[in-house]
Amino acid sequence: MTDPAERNDRELLAAHCAGDPDAFGELFRRHKDRMWAVALRTTRDPELAADAVQDGFISAFRRADSFRGDAQVTTWLHRIIVNACLDRLRRIKPTSELPEYDLADRHDVHGSTVVRLDVQEALGKIPEGQRLALTLVDMQGLPVSEAAQVLGVAEGTIKSRCARGRAALAELLRDKHGDGYAPAVED
Domains defined along the chain, listed by start: 1-96 (1.10.1740.10), 98-187 (1.10.10.10)
The pLDDT assigned to 29 comes to 95
- What is d(CA 43, CA 55) in angstroms, rounded to the nearest whole number? 14
- What is d(CA 62, CA 65) in angstroms, rounded to the nearest whole number? 8
CA dihedral 113, 115, 117, 119 (to 10 degrees): -150
- What is d(CA 165, CA 132) in angstroms, rounded to the nearest whole number? 10
The pLDDT assigned to 95 comes to 40
What does the longest C-alpha to C-alpha distance in the chain come to?
Answer: 61
- What is d(CA 101, CA 13) in angstroms, rounded to the nearest whole number? 42
The pLDDT assigned to 105 comes to 41
* 78 Cβ contact list (under 8 Å, min separation 6): 35, 38, 136, 140, 142, 146, 150
pTM of the model: 0.62
- What is d(CA 42, CA 24) in angstroms, rounded to the nearest whole number? 24
- What is d(CA 109, CA 33) in angstroms, rounded to the nearest whole number? 24
For the chain, 187 residues long, give each residue's pLDDT as a single digit of tens.
567 778 899 999 999 999 999 999 999 999 999 999 999 988 888 999 999 999 999 999 999 998 988 889 999 999 999 999 888 888 875 443 433 434 444 444 455 566 677 777 888 889 989 998 988 888 888 889 988 988 889 999 999 999 999 999 888 888 776 655 555 444 4
- What is d(CA 141, CA 53) in angstroms, rounded to the nearest whole number? 19
- What is d(CA 79, CA 148) in angstroms, rounded to the nearest whole number? 10
- In terms of Cβ atoms closer than 10 Å to its own Cβ (0-12, 13-18, 19+), residue 157 is middle
- What is d(CA 71, CA 142) in angstroms, rounded to the nearest whole number? 12
